[in-house]
Amino acid sequence: THDELLERQRLRESSARSYPRRLPVALVDARGCTVRDRQGNAYLDCLAGAGALALGHHHPVVVQAIRDALDAGAPLSTLDLPTPIRDRFVTQLFDVLPEHLRDGRILFCGPSGADAVEAAIKLARTATGRSGVLAFGGAYHGMTQGTLALTGRRSVKEPLGSLLPDVHHLPFPTMYRSPFGLEDARGAAARLVEWALTDDLSGIPAPAAVIAEPVQGEGGVHPMPAAFADAVRRATRAAEAVLIADEVQTGLGRTGELWASQAVDMEPDVLVLSKAIGGGLPLAVIVHRGTLDGWQPGAHAGTFRGSTLALAAGAATIKEVVSAGLVEHARDVGRRLTDGLLAVAAGDPRVGDVRGRGLMTGAELVDPSVVDADGVPVPDGWLAGRIQREMLRRGVIVEVGGTHDAVVRFLPPLVITAAEVDRVVDAFGAALRASRD
Ligand code: PMP
């Protein structure tokens, strides 16, 4: 039964598992944006494999691509050896890359996003001969020891002791709950980046790399302001450091732009991609400028780097996202989602902020009775958890993240319809009302 599945998991699996704690459902069936549990209850999936399922569950083009590969007897794993399916994936991806990376190089790192971030840092260190990395407060880049060092969340790394050395964090200019208080966050953060990278008195040795998410995801859905991206780009160039854009979550249309870094003219030297580009199967790559090649032959290896089924699913997904106009669609329904959440939130002071880009959207829950020194109400993680549970009861799966896990996050498949978006908004409104007592 449903409860037995949950109970057996609780007994057998490590307590490090995270999602089932907040979302106690055992899923057995999935189509499009809808998943069903063992008892037949349907849920709109606004988690979508943490953003990996751009086309939702079992999209016909993905299913067909996987079937075709199996029917053709394609080898499932060839390590780095070329295959027609691998070639098709690379061609498909390069056709849609930002202009400045189209004559670049791709490295398969897989299977997880964290693997690709690790490779990007390795490349930057090898190419520059330096070791330092600058990252940002609130950043999320993975759960390996190297990527955790880059994470801008103290609580997850403190229990581990020393991680990657020479990592420094700078404030990310969030527009809500800004680390600069009431000052202009964009200007202040830009000045700090410039100072850290180029001023002798910053005391920070010139780093190998600066790594940033063009829209912070797990950190609570914070879009990078264009003016800040520009400052980061200029300062990185002046310091001859490698600029790495982590588009593991934002990449391939989610933000209403094909690449979120392109939307703010970040022009990264390295683009880190995973999640959506595998069509829901594990795949992770970096693409870097051709001029940036520090690798010795064999310098980066691994067994699972580009499984045939993931490459087939990924190539089909990239083609479909572009040819079906899903980037524009994500922008349109994303605006509908944001507008809907704003309308529901109007008059309810417990929703402090609604923000995002495209279908990467968040609503920050606050306790209006307690304000910080800047007069901003404090985050309310307990309420966000309550909203998440109430939405689950109403048939919508959402994620939480950000400061104190107080941000309810919406990451639905890009194919979500306007009618489905309206159901998500209604469920959020109903959950807010239900959690008034
Ligand atoms: N970078 C970003 C921006 C992410 O959002 C994530 C995953 N949420 C990762 C890296 C790590 O990816 P993975 O979980 O596949 O290791």
Amino acid at site 372: D
Residue nearest to atom 5 of ligand 1 (CA): 249
Same domain? 11 vs 83: no
What pLDDT was estimated at residue 155? Answer: 92
Q: Is residue 65 part of a domain?
A: no
Last residue of a domain, one of 300, 323, 346: 323
Identity of the residue numbered 236: T
> Residue 203 is part of a domain; what is its CATH number?
3.40.640.10
CA of 219 to the centre of ligand 1 (A): 11
Of 307, 323, 339, which residue constitutes the final position of a domain?
A: 323
Nearest CA owner, ligand 1 atom 12: 113
Instruction: Give CA angle at 279 (277, 281), nearest 5°.
Output: 100
Q: Which amino acid is at 237?
A: R
Q: Are residues 423 and 392 in the same domain?
A: yes
User: Which of 112, 140, 148, 247 for mutating ligand 1's site (highest number of atoms within 8 Å of CB)?
Assistant: 140
Q: How far is the CA of 165 from the centre of ligand 1 (A)?
A: 21
- Cα of 85 vs centre of ligand 1, distance in Å, is 25
Alpha carbon of 199 to ligand 1 centroid (Å): 32
Q: Does any domain span residue 347?
A: yes
What is the tens place of the pLDDT at every residue in 246-305?
999 999 999 999 999 999 999 999 999 999 999 999 999 999 999 997 788 888 989 999
CA distances from residue 55 to 49, 277, 321, 334, 383 in whole angstroms, order as listed: 11, 11, 8, 15, 31
CB atoms near residue 227 (< 10 Å): 15
| Ligand 1 atom with least separation from CA of 117 | 10
Look over the chain and give the mean of its residue pLDDT values, rounded to a whole number: 96
CA 249 – ligand 1 centroid, Å? 7
Q: Which of 216, 248, 305 to mutate to test the pocket of ligand 1 (most atoms within 8 A of CB)?
A: 248
Distance from the alpha carbon of residue 29 to the mean position of ligand 1, in angstroms: 25
Cα(245) to centroid(ligand 1), Å? 12
Q: What is the dihedral of CA 112, 144, 299, 242, to 10 degrees?
A: 90
Please tell me what DSSP assigns to residue 308: H
Is the residue at 261 inside a domain? yes
Contacts from 195-200 at CB under 8 Å and sequence distance 24+? 196/134, 196/168, 196/170, 196/235, 197/134, 197/235, 197/236, 197/238, 197/239, 197/241, 198/235, 198/238, 198/239
Question: Do 351 and 214 fall within a single domain?
Answer: no
| Shared-domain flag, residues 414 and 289 | no
Which of 156, 261, 271, 274, when mutated, tests ligand 1's pocket best, judged by the most ligand atoms within 8 Å of its CB? 274
C-alpha–C-alpha distance, residues 222 and 214, integer Å: 9
Q: Are residues 29 and 80 in the same domain?
A: no
Q: What is the pLDDT of residue 403?
A: 87
Q: How confident is the model at residue 227, as a pLDDT?
A: 95
How far is Cα 228 from Cα 410, in angstroms, rounded to an integer?
A: 25
Q: Residue 410 domain-assigned?
A: yes
- Contact yes or no for 264/225 (Cβ under 8 A): yes
Cα 155 to averaged position of ligand 1 atoms, centre (Å): 18
Same domain, 173 and 304: yes
Q: Are 93 and 207 members of one domain? A: yes
pLDDT (0 to 100) of residue 182: 87
Residue 67 lies in a domain: no
Pocket around ligand 1 at a 6 A CB cut-off: 50, 112-114, 117, 140-142, 213, 217-218, 246, 248-249, 274
Q: Which of 19, 115, 141 to mutate to test the pocket of ligand 1 (most atoms within 8 A of CB)?
A: 141
> pLDDT tens-digit profile of 211-253?
999 999 999 999 999 999 999 999 999 999 999 999 999 999 9
My answer on whether 109 and 183 are in the same domain is yes
What's the CA-to-centroid distance between 217 and ligand 1, angstroms? 9
> The CATH number of the domain where 30 resides is what?
3.90.1150.10
Q: Does a structural domain hold residue 64?
A: no
Task: Give the pLDDT of residue 213.
Answer: 98
**pLDDT score of 18:** 80
Domain-located, residue 51: yes
* Domain count of the fold of the chain: 2
What atom of ligand 1 comes closest to residue 272's alpha carbon?
A: 1
Please identify every stretch of the chain with a pLDDT value under 50, giving residue numbers as ranges.
none
Whole-number Cα distances in Å, 41 to 50, 396, 410, 421: 21, 11, 20, 19
- For residue 157, the enclosing domain spans 74-323
52 and 79 both lie in a single domain: no
Residue 285: both structure tokens together: 């790559």
Gap from CA of 248 to ligand 1 centroid (Å): 6
Domain identity same for 103 and 127:
yes
Q: What is the pLDDT of residue 15?
A: 85
pLDDT at 323: 98
The ipTM value here is 0.99
Residue nearest to atom 1 of ligand 1 (CA): 141
DSSP letter at 225 equals P
Our mutation pick for probing the ligand 1 site, out of 249, 259, 283, counting the most ligand atoms within 8 A of Cβ, is 249
Q: Is residue 68 part of a domain?
A: no
Q: Which atom of ligand 1 is nearest to the CA of 275?
A: 15
Domain final position from 292, 323, 354: 323
Cα 116 to ligand 1 centre (Å): 9
Are 306 and 424 part of one and the same domain?
no
Q: Are residues 231 and 272 in the same domain?
A: yes
Nearest CA to ligand 1 atom 10: 141
Q: Is the dihedral angle over the CA atoms 62, 78, 275, 258 positive or is it negative?
A: negative
Q: How far is the CA of 86 from the centre of ligand 1 (A)?
A: 23
